[in-house]
Structure 1
Amino acid sequence: MAETAENAGMKAGNVADQAREAVVEAALGKLGLDAKARLLSGKDMWSLPALPEIGLTSLVMSDGPIGVRGVHWTADDPSIALPSPTALAATWDPALAHRAGALLAQEARRKRVHVLLAPTVNLHRSPLGGRHFEAYSEDPYLTGRIGSGYVRGVQSGGVGTTVKHFVANDAETDRFTVSNVVSERALRELYLAPFEAIVENAHPWGIMTAYNSVNGTTMTEHRYLVNEILRGEWGFDGFNVSDWTAARSTTGDIEGGLDVAMPGPQTVYGAPLAAAVRAGEVEEAKVDEAVRNVLRLAARVGILDGAEPVVTEPPAAIDGEALAREIARRAFVLVRNERQALPLKPGTVALIGAAARDARVLGGGSATVFPTRIVSPLDGLTAALPEGSLTYAVGADPTEELAVADKGFELRAVCRDANGEVIGSGSAPNGQIQWMGDDLPEGVTHDTLHTVELTGTFTPRDSGPHTFGIKGLGAFTLTVDGTTYFDDAQRTDKDDPFEAFFGAPVPRAQAELTAGEPVEVSLTHVVTLPEGIPMKVVGFSLAHQEPQRDADELIAEAVEAARAADTAVVVVATTDRVESEGYDRKDLRLPGRQDELVHAVAAANPNTVVVVNSGSPVELPWRDEVAAVLLTWFPGQEGGAALADVLTGAHEPGGRLPSTWGSFADAPVTQVVPADGELPYTEGVFIGYRAWEKEGKTPSYPFGHGLGYTDWTYESLEISGMTATIRVHNSGERAGREVVQVYLAPVEADAERPARWLAGFAGVEAGPGESVEAVVDLPRRAFEIWDENVASWAFVKGSYEVQAGRSIIDRRVAAAINV
């Protein structure tokens, strides 16, 4: 029998794996204890030490997941900024996720990065999770499918991934200390499930363990979840790296299966680990196993002499801007479109909203990257619409705090020693200094650095009182236009070592300025090492806020603009204080007076389209008053161009909801604040749509919902074995793409199981009047539950209804299956 290409490829892969393993073992055998222990400890913020004696180059890691920041946290080192992970999940397209990953591998190689610290596959347990924009979905199956595509894409470019944060890191409150109390069944069926699927289907080269504890054991020391499940049951053979500063115990971490403690140079590994071995507290074999995992990763990415990398020829070059634009428009979810308000009809358009001019394209925290350009909605629509047909009004500004100095500022950083002598300088294109480890301007060392002065000019675009402030901790001096407004220390009472990065800017000065007239500005910081961070970091920012006009006047102007136009397009948004790493949300309301703005505009113009610029759900109290609602997530650097594509009808909005959108009052799971250090997951397996159905609550828009610019008729569903074939017909007037969703529902109700759950999906395309078939395989796991009595998966026999449709509640065709 002729050998298939797939089998031949597998054999070749096995041979290559064996060859790499031989090189790894030979290299390991040449290392002494001190070198091995040193390899497991970060050399600095982003890298591991090189070991020239075995031909090992320093391994470099970088944050993701929407771009590759590299080792420099600055706009001087720009990156492609893709849409948020929630947006990628909203495409319901693993192949598109693969392309996104391949682009990021290209970016990583450009920046000489070997491992991307992504993707985040924690679940949207509660809508209050402040970092949910960085994760995919409330559903483990959808998360696993999108995450698998992403990982395969990144690694197809020869760059490693670290799937994170393992596990149950589903909220930000007290994330360093909380113990999440989760049943074994909920862990297996929900929170571990995406990790398991990605390990099985994408073979990731890395996993990152989380800050939090699970059932009393911190994740970096969790030998049961890491050694027994991740490595034992699932066969994971990659490296396990701590979240930054999460490793706390030398013996506990190495026994718990942690390979690498980051960042360095001061960690619980390195010299402390070697000492623990010599004292008989740790077996050297444990160290060897961790080193073996690191060397295997190094061999895979091509930085270990003698080992052929997994990818010898990178994929063809990808146009990053074009792909960012495509992902964005295919992620936009049209949840309402009355009277076919979209696509826009010929006529005048009033564009309204602060976020329409100053776009928010990504979420806050370690996911931040700095693109070379950002296309705002105002930019995109100005380019796409006929000249003279578009007007703009601010309406209501959601930003209630200062932002990092950016537009109008021309700044540089001047470094001085204790004698006031200049020892170096560097650019500061956005008023933000984040120097980590040895990433300092040329000629500057931490030993000689005493002060950093951000200095330059600011040219305001509006006249009036401008507010300036400081983000960071320590001693500062702030001067604007020759006047010193602040010369003191800025402190915090929060117990978070990253407060200097994620904390709110503090207003410290207000100066009356004239539009177009530049003034000199200066912010000087006396450098001190932040407490609680085991590496040398210099981090602070100059912040700024433009003159604040009367809110009632701004809304009145917007109403008049809307009344005079054929269509009003209102862009509403969240802010860094609402969605960011480091803290959770308190409610689901849009900040500021944006809801009031939409109510007023809708009353003035019945043809009002609202664009919602948020990474995760917000309440939409005006949704029944407007003609259309389009959810654009954090749309990445090309978001404004993609928005113009969709609003004008050049492309249809392709997204479907990856999570349920509803009111805070009706949301079934809202507890994210621990009590006495613990957060019980009392809801068990009922989160997201599972919980909404159990509680009998009706959300604003259900999981899976999304409209396009054509109509679809579901004609039939047939079952053959464990495969469902669904025939759908494009009954509209233009070509389109449909996401056919398949849900599995037990015929006999069981209070311990959801009413139904996502079992598969497929995207299909068809022209007007055409029919097409979606073929969806039903995985065995869809019929299984975790039986805590016998600690294993149990296949639940019986009768099920296979239901296919457009969302969890819009199910069009069904067929019975007995298993």
Structure 2
Amino acid sequence: MADINVEEVLKKLSLAEKVSLLAGIDFWHTKSFPEHGVPSLRLSDGPNGVRGTRFFNGIPAACFPCGTGLGATFNQELLEEAGKKMGEEAIGKSAHVILGPTINMQRSPLGGRGFESIGEDPFLAGLGAAALVRGIQSTGVQSTIKHFVCNDQEHKRMSVQAIITERALREIYALPFQLVVRDSQPGAFMTSYNGVNGTACSENKKLLNDMLREEWGWDGLIMSDWYGTYSVTDSIKAGLDLEMPGPTRWRGDVLNFAAACEKVWGHVIDDRAREVLKFVKKCAASGVKENGPEKTLDTPETAALLRKIGNESIVLLKNEKSLLPLAKDKKTLVIGPNAKVATYHGGGSASLAAYYAVTPYDGIAEKLGSQPAYTIGAYTHKLSPLLGSQTKGEDGKAGMSWKVYNKPPSDSSRKPVDELWLAKSEMHLVDYYNSELEDLWFANLEGILEVEEDSTYEFGVIVCGTANLYVNDELVVDNSTKQIAGDAFFGTATREELGRKDLKKGEKYKIRIEFASAPSFTLKLDNPVVGHGSLRVGASKVIDAKQEIERSVALAKEHDQVIICAGLNSDWETEGSDRESMKLPGALDELISAVAAANPQTAVVMQTGTPEEMPWLDEVPAVIQAWYGGNETGNCIADILFGDANPSGKLSLSFPKRLADVPAFLNFRTEAGRTLYGEDVYMGYRYYEFADRAVNFPFGHGLSYTTFAFSDLNVSSNEGKLTTSVIIKNTGSVRGAEVAQLYVRPMQAAKVNRPVKELKGFAKVELDAGESKTVTITELEKYTAAYFDEEKDKWCVEAGEYEVIISDSSAVTDKALKGSFKVDETYWWSGI
């Protein structure tokens, strides 16, 4: 890419050409002007890997642990390394821009995208994201920090107004963005769908111009979330540079007309176009080719890094009588719906096709050197498990054939215009393209299903368009004649329609799904994210929950040790919809209790991105939180279970006992177009501590197979910096890693009520058995002691004494060390 003289290009472009720069040309690309040396940029999701340009049948990529898993590493150096690898992956996909990381706050465990964000504390989220951004941008690829701001729920996300005090906005929800600007200068910001206090974020001058650009001094591009631009002139005037995706709905002829009528001045359009050109120039440093090819970069080095990150993300929640690590020579039983499925990412923008994905069962089998006994125990799926992983072709190849036609099945002479072999039976066709396709087209998805025993199978179909499922030419599911709206595929498709069929062992069943594209859809949903439509096909054996639990209990009594793989998946935790309950689905709670009673040597592996209720917690001796762990999910779980890696993760979220304990319990869903942030600054551990509300596990909690001691705390405050050092010693017998978490507490009454204490820094260190190291944490004093003064519209640091606490979690124990520093005079500040 040639160097761009931004001001010279601006002079040469007509008004209409400048306007065309201000919106994407398709789902993933910006406008180019080759004659002026301005290339098109490619943008790509997402927060835990780089998908490339295709939701449908995309090029495989490296999948990193989900956001809460990345946060749980509490390791800024490792996250910077992860960011660098993400940047390299983007270059492999010929992408100039990564749409991530995500740093919204988890007000409630029910948030559909809670798994995608780094954690509930602004400092953990901000410092963690800053490390990722530094790593990404070290490759020349630009990052997009998102979603600015208060995009903390999915319910009515494109219309809801977040009603929030200025103090809570600044101290909790905007602060992580402020820290990322301070420490890493991200190339771009993405606005959120929602509004804040009456104004949509994509046209909110107070947020985009006054706070972000003027107060924080940030210099970069502001883009909308996809279809999150809602106006012509208001968004332009507020500072929104780029409408995504294209083709434009707001910035074509209608903006030209508005300029001609002087509803928006030409110099304002120049300002927006200038930011786009500056961003294009910045991206040119990556050396990424315009409209280049997409390729895979699957290497042993990538796998090793993903495994290291995954291992450091896993949190050992409980380990009574040192049940873990398990012995490899004992008779082992594996139970659970998550065992033989690689639950490696959440849904929506975080979804991608991984190079590979290791299941927990396969990881455990590798450790044992043999295939352990297994039973599913219970179902927890929200949607039927994908059929594509259960079927084969006539030649035995796993997957299903996909043949595309311009004519319906009734036309016996029709010929396919496209043929693909698909490993997954889930197709979001928003970016599918074939030049020979007509507006209405048709497809057959086919495969052979064989079952292990005589059983009744339940088949499920979700569609945007129409689809019918046949088994040996018999109609089993009709999702064409009576369609009912659901929340899959970003709310653009039907609910799952189900049908049952008795199947016999030893027979081959021909499965055929006849699909018609989006124009055939009988539901006229007002949602732009449709494209050619979508299709999801699943199937599962019908089981009796009571019988499955009884079978699991009987097997548990026959084995030395039991591993239960439990949790959720990308159907439950996904962009586009929030969960309705914090309870585990199905009979999983009953299963865990029954198995633990039958065999006290039971360890539970939880795979979720956010907390779940654990009514069985006192009944099981060991629990690990494994999140959605990326490509290496199963290997990492096995590494921790059998002691080949020592757990060092710390909870990036508080784990409350029940949903009613959550501070946003009464104020999470949209009512009358708004969501009241009634908990104010008391979100997460700030609330549980202030209200003295017990939790299952506190923020920052995480055990190890070794032990650590803190000593020799030193606190100094000089020249505006707070420096804290502490010696950490590994007092156990194996190598491990510990995190020093720095909390600050005001020791005198303030002008406003304040949380008991707040995280202001952290550092992780690896130590051999018996080894000691000094860890130092440095932070600006004004960030450690300030609250936001709404009267002065500035941050305030009040004179007085402040306690410094070094702990291994937010729950201060006898292990913690305490010191203090003093502020002599009250002062106010703004900026970064």
The TM-score with structure 1 as length reference comes to 0.92
Alignment of 1:557-568 (within 5 A): 557-568=551-562
Q: Which residue of 2 aligns with 1:573?
A: 567
The RMSD of aligned alpha carbons is 2.5
Deviations 1:663-717 (A, max 9, x none): 2232222221122111111111110000001111111100110001110112221
Distance 1:320 1:102 in 2: 11
Q: Per the alignment, do residues 354 and 495 of structure 1 end up closer, same or farther by CA in structure 2, a change over 3 Å counting?
A: closer
Whether 1:673 aligns to 2:669 is: yes
Contact 1:265 1:535 in 2 (8 A): no
Distance 1:716 1:294 in 2: 51
Contact 1:121 1:195 in 2 (8 A): yes
The residue identity in structure 2 corresponding to 1:668 is: P
Alignment of 1:255-294 (within 5 A): 255-294=237-276
Once the two structures are TM-superposed, the CA of residue 490 in structure 1 deviates from its matched residue by 5.1
Distance 2:176 2:469 in 1: 48
Identify which of 40, 43, 50 aligns with 2:22: 40
The residue identity in structure 1 corresponding to 2:356 is: R
Q: Per the alignment, do residues 759 and 487 of structure 1 end up closer, same or farther by CA in structure 2, a change over 3 Å counting?
A: closer
Distance 2:764 2:158 in 1: 40
Identify which of 469, 491, 496 aligns with 1:478: 469
- State the SS of the aligned residue for 1:406: helix
The residue identity in structure 2 corresponding to 1:289 is: D
Whether 1:590 aligns to 2:579 is: no
Whether 1:744 aligns to 2:744 is: yes
Q: Per the alignment, do residues 322 and 250 of structure 1 end up closer, same or farther by CA in structure 2, a change over 3 Å counting?
A: same
Q: Which residue of 1 aligns with 2:126?
A: 144
Q: Which residue of 1 aligns with 2:830?
A: none
Q: Per the alignment, do residues 749 and 629 of structure 1 end up closer, same or farther by CA in structure 2, a change over 3 Å counting?
A: farther
Distance 1:596 1:378 in 2: 22
- State the SS of the aligned residue for 2:171: helix
The residue identity in structure 2 corresponding to 1:674 is: T
Whether 1:814 aligns to 2:818 is: yes
Q: Which residue of 2 aligns with 1:436?
A: 430
Once the two structures are TM-superposed, the CA of residue 62 in structure 1 deviates from its matched residue by 1.1
Q: Which residue of 2 aligns with 1:703?
A: 699
Q: Which residue of 2 aligns with 1:422?
A: 415
The residue identity in structure 2 corresponding to 1:413 is: W
Q: Which residue of 1 aligns with 2:828?
A: none
Contact 2:457 2:539 in 1 (8 A): yes
Whether 1:352 aligns to 2:335 is: yes
Q: Which residue of 1 aligns with 2:68?
A: 86
Once the two structures are TM-superposed, the CA of residue 500 in structure 1 deviates from its matched residue by 3.0
Distance 1:306 1:549 in 2: 51
Alignment of 1:479-498 (within 5 A): 479-485=470-476, 486=478, 488-489=480-481, 491-493=483-485, 498=490
Once the two structures are TM-superposed, the CA of residue 171 in structure 1 deviates from its matched residue by 0.9
Once the two structures are TM-superposed, the CA of residue 497 in structure 1 deviates from its matched residue by 8.8
The residue identity in structure 2 corresponding to 1:519 is: K
Whether 1:369 aligns to 2:360 is: no
- State the SS of the aligned residue for 1:422: coil
Alignment of 1:159-178 (within 5 A): 159-178=141-160
Alignment of 1:163-562 (within 5 A): 163-302=145-284, 319-345=301-327, 346-387=329-370, 390-409=372-391, 410-418=399-407, 420=411, 421-422=414-415, 424-427=417-420, 428-437=422-431, 439-441=432-434, 443-447=435-439, 449-460=440-451, 463-485=454-476, 486=478, 488-489=480-481, 491-493=483-485, 498-500=490-492, 504-508=495-499, 510-514=501-505, 517-528=508-519, 531-534=525-528, 537-562=531-556
Deviations 1:70-115 (A, max 9, x none): 1111345211111111000000011111111111111111111111
Deviations 1:602-649 (A, max 9, x none): 111111111001111111111121111100011112111111111111
Deviations 1:396-422 (A, max 9, x none): 121143133321333233222257543
Distance 1:355 1:307 in 2: 40
- State the SS of the aligned residue for 1:130: coil
Contact 1:433 1:540 in 2 (8 A): yes
The residue identity in structure 2 corresponding to 1:424 is: V
The residue identity in structure 2 corresponding to 1:632 is: A
**Greater mean deviation of Cα atoms: 593-602 or 414-423:** 414-423
Distance 2:112 2:265 in 1: 40
Distance 1:197 1:177 in 2: 28
Q: Which residue of 2 aligns with 1:725?
A: 725
Q: Which residue of 2 aligns with 1:312?
A: none
Distance 1:351 1:496 in 2: 31
Once the two structures are TM-superposed, the CA of residue 221 in structure 1 deviates from its matched residue by 0.5
Contact 2:742 2:805 in 1 (8 A): yes
- State the SS of the aligned residue for 2:219: coil
Distance 1:87 1:68 in 2: 17
The residue identity in structure 2 corresponding to 1:431 is: S
Contact 1:570 1:608 in 2 (8 A): yes
- State the SS of the aligned residue for 1:549: coil
- State the SS of the aligned residue for 2:270: helix
The residue identity in structure 1 corresponding to 2:773 is: V
- State the SS of the aligned residue for 2:788: strand
Question: How many residue pairs end up in the alignment?
Answer: 790
Distance 2:184 2:351 in 1: 26
Contact 2:112 2:577 in 1 (8 A): yes
Q: Which residue of 1 aligns with 2:654?
A: 660
Distance 2:506 2:755 in 1: 59
Q: Which residue of 2 aligns with 1:4?
A: none
Contact 2:730 2:770 in 1 (8 A): yes
- Contiguous gaps of at least 5 residues in structure 1: 1-18, 309-314
**Greater mean deviation of Cα atoms: 171-180 or 96-105:** 96-105
Distance 2:742 2:407 in 1: 67
Deviations 1:581-603 (A, max 9, x none): 11212221111111111101111
Contact 1:473 1:491 in 2 (8 A): no
- State the SS of the aligned residue for 1:356: coil
Deviations 1:349-400 (A, max 9, x none): 1111111111311111121101132111110010111436x32121112114
Once the two structures are TM-superposed, the CA of residue 518 in structure 1 deviates from its matched residue by 4.3
Distance 2:265 2:190 in 1: 23
The residue identity in structure 2 corresponding to 1:524 is: F
Question: Once superposed, which parts of structure 1, at least 4 consecutive aligned residues long, lie more than 6 Å away?
Answer: 303-308, 315-318, 494-497
Distance 1:493 1:651 in 2: 46
Contact 1:469 1:505 in 2 (8 A): yes
Distance 2:144 2:244 in 1: 13
The TM-score with structure 2 as length reference comes to 0.91
Distance 2:33 2:568 in 1: 46
Contact 2:236 2:268 in 1 (8 A): yes
Deviations 1:274-318 (A, max 9, x none): 22111211111111111111111211121899999xxxxxx9988
The residue identity in structure 2 corresponding to 1:210 is: S
Q: Which residue of 2 aligns with 1:3?
A: none
Q: Which residue of 1 aligns with 2:709?
A: 713
Distance 2:536 2:152 in 1: 31
The residue identity in structure 1 corresponding to 2:513 is: S
Contact 1:575 1:591 in 2 (8 A): no
Contact 2:71 2:128 in 1 (8 A): yes
Q: Which residue of 2 aligns with 1:690?
A: 686
The residue identity in structure 1 corresponding to 2:704 is: G
Distance 1:348 1:744 in 2: 48
Once the two structures are TM-superposed, the CA of residue 804 in structure 1 deviates from its matched residue by 0.7
Once the two structures are TM-superposed, the CA of residue 718 in structure 1 deviates from its matched residue by 1.2
- Contiguous gaps of at least 5 residues in structure 2: 291-296, 392-398, 824-832
Once the two structures are TM-superposed, the CA of residue 178 in structure 1 deviates from its matched residue by 0.5
The residue identity in structure 2 corresponding to 1:457 is: I
